[in-house]
């Protein structure tokens, strides 16, 4: 039984019926058993299912499935869907079952435990199941992690995969990409994600190489500068530098256009003079040809200038957007003191502030989840739509909802001392690619 996981084992071995009573283990006709409506797995490996059906024909079903009674002769599956499907393939008329009374929440939990612990779910199905537990049953990421025996960050990262486009999710379902590849793809901006996914598949990149390539793409896109020295410039300095370069380039092109216009006037005057002097027609035609060619060239230069201006404007917008989604804003709107610094055991900064202090979004993004945790109290987690996410805990009040867009500096909650906090403060975490990093290395003007 231990193979089934703590949740399923408890389900089988507990409850009002015992397995040696007729109400605990019995046989039910397959036609009366409905599939689990909360089943997270959407696809089955046909070859493995046929192998299991062959084994059932030879050895019978040793381990009963678990069902809950819905009506006099109607049952709904809790756990054992592969065995149920294989029994149908083997043309069984009836099947041994254990009958248990469970809530819809428990029904989903046990279906997930069975599949996740046996590694039967693909990354998309697993993420959908976790999101269903979070949204429909109000479970926190920590509670889900405890049930399935995984880290909280693993659950959060899994749910983030659902932000990828349907095309990329299909690649994951087809096992062309792993969940590790999906996390790497999430690091790059949305408009490049599908192209990057195809690049990973085409070049057979490992997860590690995909992460390295994603980091390179982000740095190139964010700074759009070539030299190492320029890559170390801060965002405000980059904006000033780009503005200066745009002004210089536009000024240079304007000077060229002014020179061109002057030259055209000289050619026109020369053409008129030749006509007045009645010079040979061929000489005048040559000057006319030069004039027409230069007018065409000048028009081309104006178009080139327009393209350059547009490219530079787009580059500036990209840099501004990157800055907007970079979590460097102090997340409290008042005086504060750092009551606890970042460490391996405490992967956060604690800001000691009065109760009710406004808590600000450190960067623009989308609320990944809001929940209440035994230790962290009221919690907000924000995905900044790049490689960064932030977490705000021990809040007295939450002012945002899941999937809500937030702007940098927007008030998202009020500081408090919920959870296991002994005094009012904000517990603030920054995660990069799912791993905690020291906020002090990113926050600007930190005291």
- For residues 99 and 394, what is the distance between their CA atoms, to the nearest angstrom? 42
Give catalytic residues, as residue numbers.
81
CA distances from 51 to 41, 86, 301 (A): 19, 8, 70
Any bridge partners for residue 79, and if so which?
66
CA 141 to chain centre: 15
Phi, psi of 29 (to 5 degrees): -65, 140
Radius of gyration (Cα) for the chain, nearest Å?
32
Residues 6+ apart with CB under 8 A from 170: none
CA 57 to chain centre: 45
For residue 151, the SS3 value is coil
Token reading at 285: 């035609």
Q: Between β-strands 75-79 and 33-34, what pairing exists: parallel, antiparallel or unpaired?
A: parallel
Is residue 442 within 8 A of residue 396, CB to CB? The reply is no
Beta strands across the sheet bearing 75-79: 25-29, 94-99, 65-69, 75-79, 33-34
Is residue 422 within 8 A of residue 387, CB to CB? The reply is no
């Amino acid at each position: 039984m231990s193979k089934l996981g703590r949740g399923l084992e408890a389900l089988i071995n507990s409850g009002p019926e015992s397995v040696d009573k007729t109400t605990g283990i019995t046989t039910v006709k397959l036609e009366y058993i409905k599939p689990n409506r909360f089943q997270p797995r959407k696809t089955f490996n046909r070859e493995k299912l046929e192998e299991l059906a062959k084994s059932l024909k030879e050895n019978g079903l040793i381990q009963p499935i678990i069902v809950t009674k819905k009506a006099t002769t109607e049952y709904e599956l809790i756990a054992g869907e592969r065995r149920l499907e294989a029994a149908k393939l083997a043309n069984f008329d009836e099947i041994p079952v254990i009958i248990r009374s469970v809530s819809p929440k428990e029904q989903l939990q046990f279906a997930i435990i069975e599949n996740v612990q046996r590694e039967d779910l693909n990354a998309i199905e697993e993420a959908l199941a976790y999101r269903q537990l979070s949204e429909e049953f109000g479970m926190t990421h920590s509670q889900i992690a405890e049930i399935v025996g995984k880290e909280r960050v693993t659950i959060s990262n899994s749910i983030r995969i659902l932000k990828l486009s349907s095309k990329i999710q299909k690649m994951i379902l087809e096992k062309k990409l792993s969940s590790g590849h999906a996390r790497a793809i999430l690091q790059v901006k949305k408009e490049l994600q599908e192209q990057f996914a195809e690049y990973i598949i085409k070049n057979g990149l490992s997860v590690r190489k995909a992460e390295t390539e994603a980091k390179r793409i982000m740095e190139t896109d964010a700074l759009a500068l070539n030299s190492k020295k320029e890559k170390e410039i801060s965002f405000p300095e980059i904006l000033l530098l780009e503005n200066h370069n745009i002004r210089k380039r536009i000024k240079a092109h304007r000077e060229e256009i002014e020179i061109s216009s002057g030259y055209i006037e000289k050619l026109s005057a020369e053409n008129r003079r030749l006509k007045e002097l009645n010079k040979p027609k061929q000489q005048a035609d040559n000057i006319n040809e030069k004039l027409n060619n230069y007018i065409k060239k000048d028009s081309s230069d104006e178009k080139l200038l327009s393209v350059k201006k547009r490219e530079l404007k787009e580059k500036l917008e990209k840099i501004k957007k990157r800055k907007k989604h970079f979590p460097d804003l102090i997340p409290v709107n008042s005086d504060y003191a750092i009551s606890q610094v970042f460490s391996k055991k405490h992967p956060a900064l604690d800001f000691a502030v009065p109760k009710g202090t406004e808590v600000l979004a450190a960067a623009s993004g989308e609320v990944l989840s809001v929940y209440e945790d035994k230790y962290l109290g009221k919690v907000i987690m924000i995905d900044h739509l790049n490689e960064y996410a932030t977490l705000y805990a021990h809040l007295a009040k939450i002012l945002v909802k899941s999937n809500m867009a937030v702007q940098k500096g927007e008030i998202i909650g009020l500081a408090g001392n919920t959870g296991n906090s002994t005094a009012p403060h904000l517990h603030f975490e920054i995660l990069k690619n799912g791993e905690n990093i020291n906020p002090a290395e990113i926050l600007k003007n930190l005291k």
